[in-house]
Every structure is written in structure tokens, then in C-alpha cells.
Amino acid sequence: GEPLNQPSREKHGLAAGDAAAPPSPNWTIDQGWSSYTEAEHAVWKTLFERQTRLLPELACAAFVQGMRALPLEADRIPDFRRLSDVLMRKTGWQIVAVPGLVPDDVFFDHLANRRFPSGNFIRKPDELDYLEEPDVFHDVFGHVPMLMHPVMSDFIQAYGQGGLRAQSLGKLPQLARLYWYTVEFGLVLENGAPRIYGAGIASSFTESRFAVQSPSPNRIGFDLERVMRTNYRIDDFQESYFVLDSLDDLLHLADVDFEPLYQRLDTGPEYAPGMVLPQDRVIQRGDGSYHSARRGE
Ligand code: HBI
Ligand code: FE
């Protein structure tokens, strides 16, 4: 039995900064579904209701369809076994529980084998919009709807395979930018207008409106090498979003030979997150108002 008043990070995972040995070789743990408290289910409900109201207007059709086809409900944090059943039938993926961020090689190995690692803990009610580590709302609500999409699910598996390779070549920082600007913060054109497919946006109440509706950020047509030369912000809304013409573009990305590309990246520029380049296919040029106000300009 576990003490009932323990905070969820400790109960559902490792404490922050805990140097304990991994719970298993691939860091998977039991979700511990029956030990979520009513307060934890209530946090899920708040987040779930906000996003399900907002996203039909802001997210791409594939996201909304995925969301509706999964056994997700407002009242309860989902049980990974039920999610995995549906996902397995649709795209051959399963969800495995992890205590939070796992080492890069462990993360890639899961993805390469069509297992999506999901944090089992949920954020605190006083930190609804701030996350240090991916929790069950980000991982499940943000990522799993797109894992129902065959092209996206193949792309994420290919990223896992490519990640192991990039690591051995010392090119992980460059490859991680591709993941960031697609899987986490990607937009895709639908009827000529950008819509959300990235999990980092879809799981954020504030950024989901910012990314689609604010005049501040740049929205730039996706280009692989351009993206892999572009730094990103982890502490605030993005200054630029990269926009696919279609989710099918990810199909080609899964087949790219990255080695010549990594070689080209060894020379030539890196770009700051807010830059717009002469060769960019600009969909909407941002006025930068949000980030200039933040910088006190
Ligand atoms: N672990 N659980 C988890 N989730 C992630 O998104 C994650 C991770 N470990 C490493 C990692 N992401 C990345 O930094 C790689 O994509 C480079
Ligand atoms: Fe994520």
C-alpha cells in the first residue's frame, strides 16, 4: 500500500532529480491506473475539457478524428491498456508508461518499435500551463491522436530509427529540431489555412490559439534543411512555426537519407528561432509583437 497523501510525481514516478536506477531496462513501469486520486482525475478533466472545446477549430482533421476515435473521456485519466488496444488495431502502436523523460537511446528504441512512452503522472492543479517534463496529458492527449494517423505513426517510428543513427554520428541536436518543428510544434495547411498537428501545441491551452491565430509568430513553409538549421525555444511560445502542405509530406521525410544532409549541416549557417530568410516560403510573416513585449522592447 502507498500513502495516500504523497504527491503524484513520487507516487507515479521518480522524484525530480532522483538518481535511482531505472525501474526496468527500458524504463517502463506500470501505469498504476488505480492509484490516481480524484484530484488527479480532476486535473485531467479541466485540461481535457478546455482542449476538446478549442481544438475542433484549430487542429487538423486527422487530429480531431484521432481524438474522437480513442477511448478518451473527460472524467478519467485514460487507462493505457485500453488506448493501446485501439491504437494497436489501427496503426500497430502501443502506449507504455514511463516515469518522465527517459534517456535519448531508450526513447528512440521505444519509438523504433512502435511503443510510445508516456509519462504516467499528471501536472499539479496550480501548474496547468507549465510543464517541466511531459506528463500524461501532454503525452496522451497531445501525441496519441496523431499516432492513429498511418503516415504520422510511420514517421515517428522512422524518427526513432534515425535517432539511434544520429546519436552515433553526433547529429542528434540537428535531428531533434526536425522532431520539434514537426511532431511537437508542427502546423499543416488545410483549405489554405494552418492547423495544428504538433503535440506541444495541441496539449497547450494558450499556445494552441497563439500558434494558429496570433499575428506574432512567423508561419513558414516547411523545408527540411532549413528546419534542421533552426534553433528552437523550450521556455516560451515558438517565434516561428513550420507548415506542411500536407501530412503526406511526412511520408517522404521518413525515407530521406540523412547522411549527406548531416554533412551539409556541418558547414553553413544556423538560424535563430525568429528569423525569416529571403528563400523562405512565408505563409504569414509574424509581427513579433508577443516576443518583443516579453523582451521589454
Ligand atoms: N523521454 N518520455 C520522454 N519523452 C520525450 O519526448 C523524450 C524523452 N527522452 C528524450 C527526448 N524526448 C528527446 O530529447 C529526443 O527527442 C531527442
Ligand atoms: Fe511530446
Report which bound ligand comes closest to the CA of 108. 1
**pLDDT confidence band for 21 (50 / 70 / 90):** low
Tens digit of each residue's pLDDT (9 = 90 or more) over 250-276: 999 988 999 999 999 999 999 999 999
Amino acid at 260: P
**Domains detected in the chain:** 27-294 (1.10.800.10)
For residue 51, the number of C-alpha atoms closer than 13 Å in the C-beta half-sphere is 32
| Model confidence at 18: pLDDT above 70 | no
Best probe residue, ligand 1, of 9, 28, 104, 120 (max atoms within 8 Å of C-beta): 104
Q: Whose C-alpha lies nearest to ligand 1, atom 17?
A: 176
Q: State whether the beta carbon of 102 lies less than 6 angstroms from ligand 1.
A: yes
Cell of 127: 501548474
Minimum-distance ligand 1 atom for the alpha carbon of 163: 17
- Centroid of chain to Cα 56: 18
| Model confidence at 4: pLDDT above 80 | no
Estimate the crossing angle of helix 104-112 against helix 150-169, to 10 degrees.
140
The DSSP output letter for 271 is B
| Model confidence at 6: pLDDT above 50 | no
Contact yes or no for 31/79 (Cβ under 8 A): yes
Matching residue, cell 488545410 = 190
Cell of 4: 495516500
Tens digit of each residue's pLDDT (9 = 90 or more) over 163-207: 999 999 999 999 999 999 999 999 999 999 999 999 999 999 999
77 three-state secondary structure: coil
DSSP for 108-134?
Answer: HHHHHTTEEEEE-----GGGTT--SS-
pLDDT above 90 coverage of the chain, percent: 88
Q: How far apart are the first and last CA of the chain?
A: 54
Element (H, E) at 185: none
**Between residues 141 and 5, which one has the greater pLDDT?**
141
Q: State whether the beta carbon of 276 lies less than 6 angstroms from ligand 1.
A: no
Query: The complex's ipTM?
Result: 0.97
**pLDDT confidence band for 20 (50 / 70 / 90):** low
pLDDT for residue 22? 72
Amino acid at 200: G
Q: State whether the beta carbon of 223 lies less than 6 angstroms from ligand 1.
A: no
Integer Cα distance of 271 and 257 in angstroms: 22
Q: Whose C-alpha lies nearest to ligand 1, atom 13?
A: 104
Q: State whether the beta carbon of 10 lies less than 6 angstroms from ligand 1.
A: no
**pLDDT confidence band for 297 (50 / 70 / 90):** confident
Best probe residue, ligand 1, of 27, 107, 156, 181 (max atoms within 8 Å of C-beta): 107
Minimum-distance ligand 1 atom for the alpha carbon of 184: 6
Integer Cα distance of 273 and 230 in angstroms: 6
Element (H, E) at 117: strand 115-119
Q: State how beta strands 193-196 and 187-190 pair.
A: antiparallel
Minimum-distance ligand 1 atom for the alpha carbon of 119: 2
Q: State whether the beta carbon of 131 lies less than 6 angstroms from ligand 1.
A: no
pLDDT for residue 241? 98
